[in-house]
């Protein structure tokens, strides 16, 4: 099922998605002899349905499919998108395949001023909202496109990106060098005007444009931590089938974790003279027991999600991208220890602009930051967020936090709850008739007392 229950205004809803679907899939010829690659069966439905599920989940609504081989089958399956609550337009390569860049140029009259490009033979499970925010920030700084990149070190394919201090210094998939530790992930955002100088109907590779943009220092970066899956070969297709079966066909228990005070230390904010969330990488410090606790939870069969209120940017206390940087560095560090965080769900919103903030304080981000939302705890939105892209057993899942709002959110979402610390009488009164299922000393105490997931 492809759906999204999100009610919040997101930057993704403003952006057109252009999907490259024209390839022949020659390495998958036993599957693509009569079927276009996006429609190759995986678990009883077309492969691209899974990537489309992610895109709709993040709030994208307007799609342009660039088709070629067996376009008729793709049109018949997806139609105009109305059954999915989205709109789909089409542009075909015609008799001759035009390559990735040529296909985009051919669709000129259907392109919006800015658009995100994805491949129909790849499953790219990233935070697309962060991608769009980083593109918008890049435009403010004079960039004209954005490339998502993954630290690869030649694991999944040949690395082709030189990245330093968050900046792409070079992208070149034809001439690899020893400095290249990153690979282009397959998701890019562009200004339409970049394609204007290319001749209509002429074949070219979009990688040539990306190379030029990197040399001109016009290519922003979004560094992601989660690997991609693609179906370029029978072995890769088999690998994805195994992964998606585990993720969507089998039920999983999940542990949703508040971040500050659970995984990392609360800091003292001198500006407001109160304890606060860390607002910079230098302030962020994990508890010594955090990794051990997370490994134990994973070993007991649970997925790990982080569900955290992070209104620092909406309150004018931090830059939004700095808050993303903190989460990304945390996830990267855990990954190096063999700990897989499925997703970090952050509520970045605040319901109203605080009196000391001037209108426009956050530039183009402001309208996304200042809004009522369905995800700010004690509401349940963060915990329910993955329900349409994972198969989560909510009855046997947990919300773990050190605040009464964590317990209230967990209760509203229908999961069990664990309170970290001493549940004092004033907190008990605020909880009314809601009681946590567990009261524990810290996250390690919770992990040790947690029963293994049995389904």
List residues with catalytic annotation: 258, 260
Task: Return all residues near 450 (Cβ < 8 A) that are at least 6 apart.
Answer: 255, 296, 297, 300, 302, 398
C-alpha distances out from residue 262 to 266, 289, 312, 399, 402, Å? 9, 10, 18, 11, 7
Q: What share of the chain is helix, strand, coil (3-state, %, to 5)?
A: 35, 25, 40
Residue 245's CB is within 10 A of a number of other CB atoms, namely 12
Q: What is the CA radius of gyration of the chain?
A: 23
CA–CA dist 381, 16 (Å, integer):
25
Candidates 97, 84, 115, 127; CA nearest to 16 is 115
Q: What is the rounded distance in angstroms from the CA atom of residue 134 to the CA atom of residue 292?
A: 33
Q: How far apart are CA 421 and CA 431, in angstroms?
A: 15
Query: What size, in residues, is the chain?
Result: 455
């Amino acid at each position: 099922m492809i759906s999204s229950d999100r009610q919040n205004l997101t930057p993704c809803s403003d952006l057109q998605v252009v999907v490259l679907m024209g390839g022949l899939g020659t390495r998958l010829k036993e599957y693509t002899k009569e079927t276009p690659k996006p429609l190759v069966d995986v678990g009883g439905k077309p492969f691209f349905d899974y990537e489309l599920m992610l895109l709709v989940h993040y709030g994208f609504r307007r799609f342009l499919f660039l088709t070629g081989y067996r376009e008729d089958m793709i049109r018949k399956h997806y139609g105009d998108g109305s059954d999915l609550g989205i709109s789909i337009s089409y542009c075909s390569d015609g008799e001759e395949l035009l390559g990735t860049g040529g296909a985009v140029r051919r669709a000129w009259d259907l392109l919006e001023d800015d658009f995100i490009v994805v491949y129909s033979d790849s499953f790219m499970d990233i935070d697309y909202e962060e991608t769009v925010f980083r593109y918008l920030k890049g435009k403010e700084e004079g960039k004209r496109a954005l490339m998502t990149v993954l630290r690869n070190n030649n694991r999944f394919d040949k690395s082709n990106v030189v990245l330093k201090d968050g900046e792409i210094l070079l992208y070149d998939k034809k001439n690899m060098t020893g400095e290249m530790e990153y690979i282009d992930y397959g998701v890019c955002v562009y200004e339409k005007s970049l394609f204007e100088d290319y001749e209509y109907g002429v074949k070219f590779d979009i990688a040539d444009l990306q190379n030029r943009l990197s040399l001109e220092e016009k290519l922003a970066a979004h560094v992601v931590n989660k690997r991609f899956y693609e179906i370029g070969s029978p072995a890769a297709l088999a690998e994805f089938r195994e992964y998606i079966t585990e993720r969507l066909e089998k039920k999983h228990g999940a542990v949703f974790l508040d971040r500050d005070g659970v995984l990392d230390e609360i800091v003292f904010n001198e500006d407001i003279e109160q304890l606060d969330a860390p607002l910079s990488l230098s302030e962020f410090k994990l508890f010594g027991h955090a990794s051990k606790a997370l490994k134990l939870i994973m070993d007991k069969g649970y997925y790990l999600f982080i569900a955290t209120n992070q209104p620092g940017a909406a309150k004018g206390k931090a830059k939004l991208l700095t808050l993303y940087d903190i989460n990304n560095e945390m996830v990267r560090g855990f990954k190096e220890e063999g700990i897989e965080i499925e997703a970090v769900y952050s509520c970045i919103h605040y319901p109203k602009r605080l009196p000391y903030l001037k209108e426009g304080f956050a530039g183009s981000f402001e309208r996304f930051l200042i809004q009522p939302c369905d995800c700010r705890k004690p509401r349940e939105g963060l915990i329910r967020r993955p329900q349409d892209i994972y198969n989560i057993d909510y009855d046997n899942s947990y919300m773990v936090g050190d605040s009464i709002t964590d317990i209230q959110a967990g209760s509203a979402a229908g999961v069990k709850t664990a309170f970290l610390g001493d549940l004092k009488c004033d907190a008990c009164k605020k909880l009314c008739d809601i009681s946590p299922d567990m009261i524990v000393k810290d996250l390690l105490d919770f992990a040790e007392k947690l029963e293994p997931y049995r389904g």
